[in-house]
Amino acid sequence: MPAAKEDRYVSQYVSRLGWLHRRPRRVAMLSVHTSPLHQPGTGDAGGMNVYIVELAQRLAAINIEVEIFTRTTATDLPPVVELAPGVLVRHIDAGPYEGLNKEDLPAQLCAFTHGVMQAWAGHRPGYYDLVHSHYWLSGHVGWLAAQRWGAPLVHAMHTMAKVKNANLADGDTPEPAARVIGETQIVAAADRLIANTAEESDELVRHYAADPGRVAVVHPGVNLTRFSPADGRAAARARLGLPQDAVIPLFAGRIQPLKAPDILLRAVAVLLGEHPELRSRVLVPIVGGPSGSGLAKPEGLQKLAARLGIADVVRFRPPVGQEQLADWFRAASVLVMPSYSESFGLVAIEAQAAGTPVLAAAVGGLPVAVRDGRTGFLVQGHDPAEYARVLRAFTDDPHLSARMGEAAARHAQSFGWDASAAATADVYTAAAQAHRRRVRSHHG
């Protein structure tokens, strides 16, 4: 073979190797039920919104363009919004704009998929290198889109029906069988599944028979610039109009049985019942709005506070933006997360990054997020008396919060979003390789 021809073959082979190992350059990200433009703590918006926004921005920063498809929820939304350089949000018409419950969304998946396909039809073949779906509703659209486009599918569960149903709060509604079936189908179809923690990875294998080789653990990150101790607790309390010398256990999140804000109220009632002299020193802010099955009784928590005789020490505040949320974290003596189920518990890392310890239920990803005894306390179960006992430690030792808060801020430093984005990019590359192998073996 002439040398020039051989060189050409070698260069083609090398470029083909590069193509095989290159990571995807443009990702279609699917988030059917919650828009990255919505404020967390309202409706169904929560940690997943933050996750998608932050991840997309950091992926764009390492040259992976992201287009996020989400459902249109208002008449005045433009079809496409640039969230950041390299990140587009595409609004898809599927069902009524306002007042559609998450439970009603499966009926709109066909319309949503149609909208995604219409957006894609205007592009050349192979425009999207990979599909990354979030939550099971998006997974179903992703499954179809990835097949249609000949692209690999990466899926993040965020929460799982079987896990939620195994840890239901009193009065909470079980997840429907349709969701369980849907999740099982997505697990079988995805080239890679992203789990927040090793425990979530084990749950995917145990409950959904996921192939362990297809599951990758990537911890969510935290915006360490926004969530930092900044100018400290005293300044944050001054800005929020909170008393400087109070012990402030904070609840921040969606108000629904799953998140168990009632456990905090009951714990405070136990604490003040045993130590009435603390009443003038304790203040309990509840920052967030009703969501999910909590919408059935939006006033339920206020009524509970009144029934427990602690309405005078509880302050209900509507959901706030990320900047103000960081101030609430800084102002608090301790963030309380008595959840029945948490795939990761992003707010636990955010609060610690702001220099505040966390008192949490030892469920889901919270034992990864919180170092028991060092950056906060983990409680087994949901007995209000156990939570009251830990709160008592904060009222007894005025320096406990600051001491643990310093350790918490150090611990949170290892949860930056840049590391999460780099790890996610590696998962994309692995998914693309697995997909190509599967296509080759199918055609071979």
Say whether 320 counts as a known binding-site residue. Answer: yes
- How far apart are alpha carbons 261 and 396 in whole angstroms? 23
In the 3-class helix/strand/coil scheme, how is 220-245 assigned residue by residue? CCECCCCCCCCCCHHHHHHHHCCCCC
Annotated ligand binding at 164? The verdict is no
235 labelled as ligand-binding?
no
Question: Does residue 48 have a known ligand-binding role?
Answer: yes
Show Cβ contacts of residue 148 under 8 Å, excluding neighbours closer than 6 positions: 117, 120
- The verdict on whether residue 9 carries a ligand-binding annotation is no
345 has binding-site annotation: no
Q: Which residues contact 437 (CB under 8 A, 6 or more apart)?
A: none
Residue 275 assigned ligand-binding role? no
The reply to whether 254 sits in an annotated binding site is yes
Q: Three-state DSSP class for 4?
A: helix
Q: Is 49 labelled a binding residue?
A: yes
Cα distances (angstroms) measured from residue 177 to each of 92, 165, 180, 183, 210: 27, 10, 5, 10, 18
Ligand-binding annotation for 338, yes or no, is no
Rg (CA), the chain: 23
Q: Which residue has the tokens 């919270």?
A: 366
30: left (phi over 0), alpha (psi -120 to 50) or beta: beta
Does the annotation list 46 as a binding residue? Answer: yes
159 labelled ligand-binding = yes
Residue 330 labeled ligand binder: yes
The DSSP line for 347-387 is: HHHHHHHTT--EEEES-TTHHHHS-BTTTEEEESS--HHHH
Consult the annotation and say whether 196 binds a ligand.
Answer: no
Q: Is 237 annotated as a binding residue?
A: no
Is 332 marked within a binding site? yes
Is 44 annotated as a binding-site member? yes
Say if residue 386 carries a ligand binding annotation: no
**Binding region for UDP-N-acetyl-alpha-D-glucosamine:** 39-40, 47, 254, 259, 320, 342, 350
**Binding region for Mg(2+):** 329-330, 332, 356
**Binding region:** 33, 39-40, 44-49, 102, 135, 159, 179, 254, 259, 320, 329-330, 332, 342, 350, 356
**Binding region for 1D-myo-inositol 3-phosphate:** 33, 44-49, 102, 135, 159, 179
